[in-house]
Structure 1
Amino acid sequence: METYEKAYQKWQEKLQKQLNKRPERKELFQTGSQLEVDRVYFPDEIDNAYIEKAGFPGEYPYTRGIRHTMYRGQLWTMRQYAGFGSAQETNERFRYLLDQGQTGLSVAFDLPTQIGYDSDDPMSLGEVGKVGVAIDSLEDMEMLFDQIDLGKVSTSMTINASAAVLLAMYIAVAEKQGVPHENVRGTIQNDILKEYIARGTYIYPPKPSMRLITDIFAFCGEEAPSFNTISISGYHIREAGSTAVQELAFTMANAIAYVEAAVDAGLKVDDFAPRLAFFFNGHNDFFEEAAKFRAARRMWAKLMRERFNANSPRSEQLRFHTQVAGSTLTAQQPENNVVRVALQAMAAVLGGTQSLHTNSKDEALSLPTEESARIALRTQQIIAHETGAANTIDPLGGSYYVEALTDRLEEEAFLYIDHIDTLGGAVSAVEKQYMQREIHRSAYEAQKRLERHDDIVVGVNEFQTEDEQAPDLMKVDEAFVENQLSRLERLKERRDTAKVEAGLAELKRTASGNGNLMYPILECVRAYATVGEICHALREVFGEYTS
């Protein structure tokens, strides 16, 4: 108890400092019966093991949260992933969602943009604007954020192989709006290892891809210190069929590889680690998911302190975005997806997420309609303002079940990490197809359980209904493609071609040497070089990766 009293007193002092800097939200924290809700709850009997494994919110190992006040001080950022067709259409959806109370933007790019092809490239045929917005040049990016102040909004961009180009475009738009680089806030996914493992939108081989990532770390450290340089993603690993343990383990193994690459490139851990972010999946098993998020925080804190000798608490604090599990949404009885999304989102909130996207009910069938996107956003708002879930920190902390699950998930994930270390680390494990095989095995086993009816999915293998009415679906007008192509053609005619060619030549020279690639990429973007032109210039130097 003496150890606890000392730790508690120290925590109270730090809590007061945070309250002085950022007071809690001005509202009553109480139950529906008007009973006062404490900031955080502790077990009746506390020993040293509790302090070491769970501890206090805002204190190492951050199992109970990375902030001393958590949602009592500030709610999570509410994002809705959006992007379809043209930049203009997507801009209209962005402004609609912001008007509806969304607090951050999240951009989906079409497949050609993700893998470095322009809309007029033969490789893009049939894919322009299909799974996200088509961005060919700075002109499109300017249209995408028209009437949206980049000095006031935080933007997450799901972009990986071409992340450096889209980051440069975002910064260039901010420049045109008069927003200083240091005030630009957001996140680029920029996680290429999980592309090799689970998603497939890679361009270059692993080594130059890792160079691009560490160049972004260094560039943002100098130019855009408020921007998150990477979102290390377990989400897509889980969507590909992994278990929760594998999602944790493979995400952390990839994170280790990025930190090691940055250190090898001459960066200091405490200079770049505070801007590393994570992206997890919010799946169906309610308690396992909440425990997973708690375990992730503790694992990262341990890795940064014990493996990388980080000295700053900010380096140890795992900040993460959650998206509920798209793979769990069903085309059958799509209204059931509203319930699935609500439960998955609640698990993420109880697990302490910093940012959250809730999927729309119709996403198993099409891009979300405006109505279904609004319902998905309202789900977050109801959790925040009507359920009481944000009134106290780590409400599930102290549950025998949740604490045991947290410990078990951490232990099992570290066993995977130990094995990946013996393979030479995450990059080597990717090249040896180890993680890919493990995910395929788990996905195959899950499918067999579904077919045997060992696992029940309501409306799919049990509780089916006949003669379901077809829902109203979102349809993208294909006519925009011709407009996109003609605008791109006109851009190429009126821009300064000599400036574009000089910028691309400098980019290739830098790629052939050791300079930071972000600076010549930014100059190319300012000259209105296209995504395809910039990525093709790098292809000439780096080559392409084939698995």
Structure 2
Amino acid sequence: MHVDPDRARQLRAEYDEAVLREGKELAGPFMTVSGRPINRVYDPTDTADLDYERDINLPGNYPFTRGIHRTGYRGKPWTIRMFSGFGSVEETNQRYKDLLAAGNNGLSIAFDMPTLMGYDHDDPWAEGEFGACGVAVDHLGDMEILLEGIPLDKITTSMTINSPAPVVWALFIAAAEKRGIPRAKLAGTLQNDILKEYIAQNEFIYPPAESMRLVTDTIEFASKEMPLWNPISVSGYHIREAGATAAQELAFTLADGIEYVKWALARGLDIDSFAPRISFFFNAHNDFFEEIAKYRAARRIWARQMRERFGAKNPRSWVLRFHTQTAGVSLTEQQPEVNLIRVAIQALAAVLGGTQSLHTDAMDEAIALPSDKAARLAVRTQQVILHETGVINTVDPLGGSWFVERLTADIERDALDYIEKIEALGGVIPAIESGYLQKEIADASARFQREVDTRDRIIVGVNEYVLDEPKEIPILRMDPEGEKRHLARLKKHRAERDPDRWAAAMQALENASRDPRANTMPYILDAVNAGATVGEVCNMWRRVFGEYREHVVV
């Protein structure tokens, strides 16, 4: 299509004059979920500053704006990876088998709060929290039951765990090896993104530097012994759930990724030995086009950072691979069936944005843990998109859209501005300790809530189209005997392990933890194989590293 820029500008001016003369346009405001103003129309003048080869190019070509694979989903569909975990390991194991039977080709393990915070379930801190928001895991026996009958060598497995990530990962590796599956053949992802905990989710235990040491240990261990495993999934999801805009989610996530790269390089690792196995995790929010543009900008920024800033030579090091989850924060308790529509649109945005794997939230998650039917419908949502919509027939079907390309470039610019500010503060950890990142998110969250309160932003069923009717959603009920079985198994586990072997392994791990030159992962594996529990390892680290207290910023 030939474009005469002068003629395009003239046509745009005539169009704008005609619209104003007719006076039929609504008052608006016309803006994205993040508050970004959107033009009435886009044309070639909006992309005149973009160079096709430098900024867009073809799918599979640097800077990967249009996707990391030349054939897109024509070559390999995204992985349907449903995030799940509740109550006892027995109940969650059955849910995983049900999900695989329903068409999942990857699992994502959700852990409950005591596990996430590194406490065993007989600790007073854990009282009343068993299995409430994920599955309870304390020791190797629990992990073996959780994974029983799951083909770990044929699927990929993701684990959402952060502060206790090294020990929970060790339990997973040990459980697989007891079944005869070598660690080198295990494929999956460990979330292990501690920086986003300080920024948004607040499930941290140790101070930032000590936590980053443990993350770096896992990166080094994976680079040497687990070539199919992603030792870290840098997570914007929780940053967005805390109220960040799309640009903030993108910027703060990539800044975290850059910080992990710096630490691994400082350890002496070659960038091409670990960068190909860094993965990312993004939110899919309600604004369809803004989310698509965010994913495209993410790939472009990361590719340039890896190649041009850090000098990575392997093209796989330039590639940003990411998992997506639809926006839990967008789900409403009111009229929960409407959540099916929200999730379908969000999932479609993730697919058109080129995600590698996808979790679709269940319609009842604002009320309770997903029922079997709701979880199955969430899987079916992805299957309809995959098989019935035709969106996989061509790679990056929105590429070249004047609107999408302009929006991609604008989000990229805003994200890079944030990254520069973070670098000027000294990096992510000083930006966290000063409260800068947290305040930016809080301000964005407050803006969004004001818009909802004033009805400048309509949320269906919440501040418009409200119904007063009883909910007819089946609620998942956990096995009331699950906690008793779990605690009895924990007591039996401690009684039957070899106390001398356990004590020696724990002492060796503590010595390694006090030695900054040591990689703790081999010692953690020895400890969990000797019967150490998650709480015992994490409490030892509490003594060695101390516990972090967030600074109050006024």
Same fold (TM over 0.5): yes
Match of 1:88 in 2: 90
> How far apart are the structure 1 equivalents of 2:406 and 2:51?
13
> How far apart are the structure 2 equivalents of 1:385 and 1:296?
27
Give the drift of 1:469.
Answer: 3.0
Greater shift, 531-540 or 474-483, is seen at 474-483
Aligned counterparts, 1:425-436, within 5 A: 425-436=427-438
| Residue among 526, 536, 539 paired with 1:533 | 536
Aligned counterparts, 1:295-314, within 5 A: 295-314=297-316
> How far apart are the structure 1 equivalents of 2:531 and 2:326?
36
Residues 212-252 of structure 1 show CA distances to partners (whole Å, capped at 9, x for unaligned) of 01110110111111000100000000000000010001001
> How far apart are the structure 2 equivalents of 1:364 and 1:522?
37
> Are the aligned partners of 1:102 and 1:377 in contact in 2 as well (CA < 8 Å)?
yes
> How far apart are the structure 2 equivalents of 1:499 and 1:470?
54
Residues 133-174 of structure 1 show CA distances to partners (whole Å, capped at 9, x for unaligned) of 000001000000001121111100000001101111111111
Aligned counterparts, 1:33-432, within 5 A: 49-432=51-434
> Are the aligned partners of 2:335 and 2:471 in contact in 1 as well (CA < 8 Å)?
no
> How far apart are the structure 1 equivalents of 2:129 and 2:360?
25
Instruction: Kindly provide the amino acid, as one letter, of the partner of residue 356 in structure 1.
Output: L
Greater shift, 501-510 or 467-476, is seen at 467-476
Point out 4+ residue stretches in structure 1 off by more than 6 angstroms: 45-48
Greater shift, 165-174 or 477-486, is seen at 477-486
> Are the aligned partners of 2:284 and 2:350 in contact in 1 as well (CA < 8 Å)?
yes
> How far apart are the structure 2 equivalents of 1:365 and 1:496?
44
Q: Kindly, what percent of the aligned residue pairs are identical? A: 53
> How far apart are the structure 2 equivalents of 1:303 and 1:468?
52
Instruction: Kindly provide the amino acid, as one letter, of the partner of residue 489 in structure 1.
Output: K
> Are the aligned partners of 1:322 and 1:353 in contact in 2 as well (CA < 8 Å)?
yes
Is 2:519 the counterpart of 1:516?
yes
> Are the aligned partners of 2:87 and 2:482 in contact in 1 as well (CA < 8 Å)?
yes
Instruction: Kindly provide the amino acid, as one letter, of the partner of residue 259 in structure 2.
Output: A
> How far apart are the structure 2 equivalents of 1:423 and 1:65?
32
Instruction: Kindly provide the amino acid, as one letter, of the partner of residue 195 in structure 1.
Output: E
Give the drift of 1:177.
Answer: 1.4
> How far apart are the structure 1 equivalents of 2:476 and 2:328?
17
> How far apart are the structure 1 equivalents of 2:49 and 2:316?
26
| CA-based RMSD | 1.4
SS in structure 2 of the partner of residue 78 of structure 1: strand
> How far apart are the structure 2 equivalents of 1:305 and 1:467?
56
Flag the 1:442–1:46 CA change in 2: closer, same or farther, 3 A.
Answer: closer
Greater shift, 475-484 or 336-345, is seen at 475-484
Match of 1:545 in 2: 548
Give the drift of 1:427.
Answer: 1.1
> How far apart are the structure 1 equivalents of 2:469 and 2:301?
48
> How far apart are the structure 2 equivalents of 1:531 and 1:200?
19
> How far apart are the structure 2 equivalents of 1:533 and 1:162?
11
Give the drift of 1:200.
Answer: 1.1
Residues 474-523 of structure 1 show CA distances to partners (whole Å, capped at 9, x for unaligned) of 12233311211111001111111111111110111001112001010000
> How far apart are the structure 1 equivalents of 2:356 and 2:469?
41
> How far apart are the structure 2 equivalents of 1:523 and 1:493?
19
Q: What residue ranges of structure 1 are gaps of 5+ in the alignment?
A: 2-42
Match of 2:16 in 1: none
> How far apart are the structure 1 equivalents of 2:49 and 2:467?
53
Match of 1:467 in 2: 469
SS in structure 1 of the partner of residue 350 of structure 2: helix
> How far apart are the structure 2 equivalents of 1:213 and 1:259?
11
TM-score, with structure 1 as normaliser: 0.91
Instruction: Kindly provide the amino acid, as one letter, of the partner of residue 84 in structure 1.
Output: F
> How far apart are the structure 2 equivalents of 1:503 and 1:533?
12
Instruction: Kindly provide the amino acid, as one letter, of the partner of residue 272 in structure 2.
Output: D
SS in structure 1 of the partner of residue 244 of structure 2: coil
Instruction: Kindly provide the amino acid, as one letter, of the partner of residue 535 in structure 1.
Output: C
> Are the aligned partners of 1:333 and 1:468 in contact in 2 as well (CA < 8 Å)?
no
SS in structure 2 of the partner of residue 535 of structure 1: helix
> How far apart are the structure 2 equivalents of 1:46 and 1:78?
38
> How far apart are the structure 2 equivalents of 1:355 and 1:202?
26
> Are the aligned partners of 1:149 and 1:177 in contact in 2 as well (CA < 8 Å)?
no
> How far apart are the structure 2 equivalents of 1:102 and 1:364?
23
Instruction: Kindly provide the amino acid, as one letter, of the partner of residue 49 in structure 1.
Output: D
Give the drift of 1:56.
Answer: 1.0
> How far apart are the structure 2 equivalents of 1:424 and 1:217?
23
SS in structure 2 of the partner of residue 130 of structure 1: coil
SS in structure 2 of the partner of residue 320 of structure 1: strand
Instruction: Kindly provide the amino acid, as one letter, of the partner of residue 506 in structure 1.
Output: A
Is 2:459 the counterpart of 1:451?
no
SS in structure 1 of the partner of residue 51 of structure 2: helix
> Are the aligned partners of 1:78 and 1:377 in contact in 2 as well (CA < 8 Å)?
yes
> How far apart are the structure 1 equivalents of 2:490 and 2:327?
35
Instruction: Kindly provide the amino acid, as one letter, of the partner of residue 538 in structure 1.
Output: W
> How far apart are the structure 2 equivalents of 1:482 and 1:173?
23
> How far apart are the structure 2 equivalents of 1:477 and 1:197?
35
